[in-house]
Structure 1
Amino acid sequence: MRNLTQTPGPDLHPDWSPSGDQSAFASGERLDREIWVMDSDGSNRRQLTPNRPGISGAPAWSPDGSQIVFESSEHQGDLAPHSWSTKACMP
């Protein structure tokens, strides 16, 4: 096992894509967390959700790998489900 990220804040809730070539995860400080995607070797890290106040977390890939579903809240305590097309994060 090896660490794939080198961020100052916590990286949480990793989920591997169905093909195993990418991982989606939440990264950031307690009240300012975004969803990120990276290749399985830790390279090509890119932010999926825009910088905004609030918490995004618990990303999960759809079975066909076409979407990532995650929780997001712009206000503390009010989590709502969201989805994002993975076409936006594919090279």
Structure 2
Amino acid sequence: LVLQVTAGALLEGDTVTLRCRARGDISVTQVWFFHERKKVAGPLKGTEISLRPLQLHHGGRYRCRGKGDIWSKWNELSAPVTVRV
């Protein structure tokens, strides 16, 4: 899985979107999002969440975990992505 974050400089009050995607043509069917190892959303049928309005406490490391068509277990975890506010 790959966790993508809205590009560009992020300021307080902005909106940032986190999107969890599988490599290739694999569809992700359920997703969980984690901030500093704490679950912040999920299970979701969608693959993205938005943080708004962005605040200083939103800064830190995020990961996503997902289940897709080819995975039989809930253990696919993305590499961490850092959000800086």
TM-score range, shorter chain: 0.3 to 0.5
- Report the TM-score when normalising by structure 1: 0.32
- Report the TM-score when normalising by structure 2: 0.33
